[in-house]
Amino acid sequence: MTDLLTPEKVALLAALRARRKASESEADRIPSRGAADGAVASYAQRQMWYLSQLSPGAATYLVPSAYRLCGPLDAAALGWALDALVARHAPLRTTLAADGDCLTQAVAEPRTGLLRVVDLAGLPAAEREAEVQARLTAEPATPVDLAHGPVLRATLLRTAPDEHVLLLTVHHVAVDEWSLRIFHAELGELYAARRDGRRPNLPELAIGYGDYAAWQHDWLTGPEAAAQLDYWRDRLAGAPAVLELPTTWPRPAVQSAAGVTRSFPLDVPQDALLALCQRLHVTPYMALLAAFQVLISRYTGERDVVIGTPVANRRRVETEHLIGLFVNPVPIRTALADNPSFEALVHRVRAAVLDAQEHQELPFEKLVEALRPVRDPSHSPLFQVMFLYGEEPASPRLSGVDVSRIDVPLGTAQFDLTLLVRTGQDGLGMAVEYRTDLFDAAAIERLAGHYRTLLTALLADPAALVGSADLLTADEWALLETWNDTDGDFPHEATVHGLVEQQVVRTPEAPAVTFDGRTVSFAELNARANQVAHRLRAAGVGPETLVGVCAERSVELVVGLLGVLKAGGAYVPLDPEYPAGRLGFMVADAAAPVVLVQGHLRELLPRSGATVLELDDADTWAGQPTGDPPASAGPANLAYVIYTSGSTGRPKGVPNTHRGAVNRLDWMQRTYRLGGDDVVLQKTPVSFDVSVWEFFWPLQTGARLVLAKPGGHKDPAYLRDLLVAERVTTTH
């Protein structure tokens, strides 16, 4: 991962370093320890080594670049400049050596002839260009061996007397974005000095990267590192382990590094962005990150969002002119549960970013080791989404030569999703790096459009609540409003149980539910559900109260569901076929104060503070009134919360209101017209939303509901016989 640096960031870091330099003693500074060979590897190098061992032979964590050079290039001077640059900066000739649990730096002696020159000028034009493109594709796909090197490859393709293409590939273990700025600047100065026959004008290096790595290991045993670790422990306590992004495909059991980067325009009103930043005393980076966190929150439904972002990690003045891997990713955690205004959110992000900057030196790998999150090979620990902001990548300046960057296609992604917002002469642009085993190109194009639309809306009215900001693009609104014009009349003020109660009045003695050879009437079903409702009311259940229901398919299940609704609560189906761990998570996550259960299933429920009532225990309901309780829940209140499968991460409870359910049920009745002679088969597990209409559609229209036996939905022969025996007219 490379960090992106704007002039504002560079100035801020310079100010921080100056302030630190004024306050630190000589003992606080990084000492020079002499030869770099054999020095302990830094934590960032260790992480690169570890990742390379996970995917041996893979071309991951490479930083390739290519430049078209037009003009009278001195190839010999360029080669000399590269050799001198590598001799000056040890990380460009450093490999890693593992000896047991110890990983050390093996620094090769400087050598000459690094630049490989290939003459393509004699080839026909089409063949020459094809060869250039082939090399542009092959270069980033060619792995680097961290044990043997080289970590830097350089090839100069001569395509005409005064035209060349320069290919540079360096492993991330040796550089970050700051390093690349140094690389390009010093390469240009060395080239110019060689051409002019003068001494290069380069800053003195007080220490080497090996000195920094040794200092870092000592620093990690001291009080400042301990204080930073305490900060991060507190900051990340209780944070979600994974962001459940709406992926195109299910998350594979083991994540891969296969990825693509796509670029998009970010044509938002920059005047409004800069004005907002000036008024709130924040940087554009902070405002753009805040908008991205809103997008991720809206995408995932998560109100506690953790997104990674890289920091330069060069607070020590001695590191300013060093090439090496210093960049450190830090998690930025932001709370959106209260649906703040964009202005308020930007202030929160500002505080989080400044705190992260103050605690940026603790290596990310050390943080993961200390926090010990549950490691899952399907996703990265602590965060899976990254945000980067900065200028367009710099190019080397070679005197007398016009240098232009060539895009190099990368086939890797370091995280599930990374948004890069870049500033350039043409304004803002964005690029999205994503894992191709999770997303397709259409999903990423939608995401880019949503970020652009959302950012525009937030800038237009920063005082508005972030949850109400427009997200959909104009084309998507057209799809919703014009092509999907499905508006129709339905009983807007009705509730699911209220419509059932109306049917009870119409046909009290008609058969309502049949299960295992026994049928109960609408009146009997209603009376039993009323007893449940009154008992739940006494237990404190009312509108927006969640009530767990753990029961197999049975009359008791229908009584329980209807009883919860009559009490004003919302039911949470707890499928008894679920694993114990999943049931435990759902009970804890829903925090339902009451759980209804069949007696023989009680042991499946985890211990909690909830009141547990057995649906099939007559004594529990004896003495409760059988009349309808006064209505308490309205159409806008929750009717149920059904949990997702969790196939892409942690299961998430998805709520629906009475109005939403009634709308669906009314549409089904207008479309398919059930009547008193119809029989509906209920066979879908209660944990799936299809079960909602299977239960309540017939009960609202006077049809008879037939329940398949527990597990019967898996037996085609049984279902066939049941359909015939009960003369079922409607099934799913």
The pLDDT tens digits of the residues spanning 149-168 come to 999 999 999 999 999 999 99
CA pair distance 64, 60, nearest whole angstrom: 11
Residue 119's nearest CA partner among 111, 131, 137, 109 is 131
The pLDDT tens digits of the residues spanning 541-590 come to 999 999 999 999 999 999 999 999 999 999 999 999 998 888 989 999 99
* pLDDT class of 8 with cuts at 50, 70, 90: low
Same fold for the pair 7-468 and 496-725: no
User: Cβ(546)–Cβ(590) under 8 Å?
Assistant: yes
CA pair distance 568, 235, nearest whole angstrom: 38
Contacting residues for 721 by C-beta, under 8 A, at least 6 apart: none
Tokens 């499928």 appear where?
A: 575
The pLDDT tens digits of the residues spanning 350-365 come to 999 999 999 999 999 9
- Written out in words, the top-level CATH class of the domain with range 7-468 is alpha beta
* Lowest-confidence segment of 27-41, 47-61, 86-100, 354-368 by average pLDDT: 27-41
Q: Six-digit token pair at 617?
A: 């225990």
Is the model's pLDDT at 366 over the cut of 90? yes
Q: What angle do CA 491, 494, 499 make, to 5 degrees?
A: 100
Is the model's pLDDT at 2 over the cut of 50? no
The residue that leads in pLDDT, 394 or 126, is 126
pLDDT at 33: 83
616, with CB counted inside 10 A (0-12, 13-18, 19+), is: middle
- Transcribe 602-633 into DSSP letters: GGGSPP-SSEEEETT-HHHHTT---SPPPP--
3-class DSSP assignment, residue 348: helix
CA pair distance 551, 565, nearest whole angstrom: 16
User: Cβ(169)–Cβ(153) under 8 Å?
Assistant: yes
* pLDDT class of 35 with cuts at 50, 70, 90: low
pTM for the model stands at: 0.71
* pLDDT class of 619 with cuts at 50, 70, 90: very high
The pLDDT tens digits of the residues spanning 209-234 come to 999 999 999 999 999 999 999 999 99
- The domain locations on the chain are 7-468, 496-725
3-state secondary structure 74-104: CHHHHHHHHHHHHHHCHHHHEEEEEECCEEE
The pLDDT tens digits of the residues spanning 628-650 come to 999 999 999 999 999 987 665 67
The 10 Å Cβ neighbour count of residue 591 is 12
Strand order in the sheet with 704-707: 518-521, 511-515, 704-707, 679-682
* pLDDT class of 18 with cuts at 50, 70, 90: low
The pLDDT tens digits of the residues spanning 331-346 come to 999 999 999 999 999 9
Q: What's the whole-number mean pLDDT along residues 236-244? A: 93
Contacting residues for 290 by C-beta, under 8 A, at least 6 apart: 334, 342, 345, 346, 348, 349
3-class DSSP assignment, residue 163: strand
Q: What is the amino acid identity at position 542?
A: G
Tokens 């990374």 appear where?
A: 418
The CATH-assigned architecture of domain 496-725 is 3-Layer(aba) Sandwich (3.40)
CA pair distance 516, 407, nearest whole angstrom: 68
Contacting residues for 685 by C-beta, under 8 A, at least 6 apart: 575, 577, 691, 713
